[in-house]
Amino acid sequence: MAATFTSPSQLLPLELVDKCIGSRIHIIMKNDIEIVGTFWGFDDYVNMVLEDVSEFESTPEGRRVTRIDKILLNGNNITMLVPGGEGPET
């Protein structure tokens, strides 16, 4: 089996996610809910643990914001990760 090497300028997706640990991250979910929190860890399935979380949900009455101390997100429901993102514009 031949070994493959990546050049120093290449960054694999999970390496980028790993570099975000300890910082704020903006997550867009499949159901159009947006989550912003401090990213503390993830596994091979990109299930994520976040603290100090704000959940933004669009409703017919307007945008609802829910504050959560700590959550575990299922990686199957994540559409996009925005490192350093502070959430949707109000």
Categorize the per-residue pLDDT at 9 as very low, low, confident or very high, splitting at 50, 70 and 90.
confident
> What's the DSSP call for residue 6?
-
Q: What pLDDT score does 73 carry?
A: 95
Weakest-pLDDT range from 7-11, 31-35, 49-53: 7-11
Residues 6+ apart with CB under 8 A from 79: 28, 29, 30
Compute the 3-state secondary structure of the chain and give helix, strand, coil in percent, each to the nearest 5: 10, 50, 40
- Indicate if the pLDDT at residue 32 is higher than 90: no
- Residue 52: band (very low, low, confident or very high) from pLDDT cuts 50, 70, 90: very high
pTM exceeds 0.85 for this model: no
Distance of CA 65 to the CA centre of its chain: 17
Kindly give the residue spans of alpha helices, DSSP state H, lying in 1-90: 13-19
Predicted local distance difference test score (pLDDT) of residue 5: 58
What CATH number has the domain spanning 26-83?
Answer: 2.30.30.100
Q: For residue 22, give the DSSP letter.
A: T
CA distance 47 to 39: 11
Give the start-to-end residue ranges of the domains of the chain. Answer: 26-83
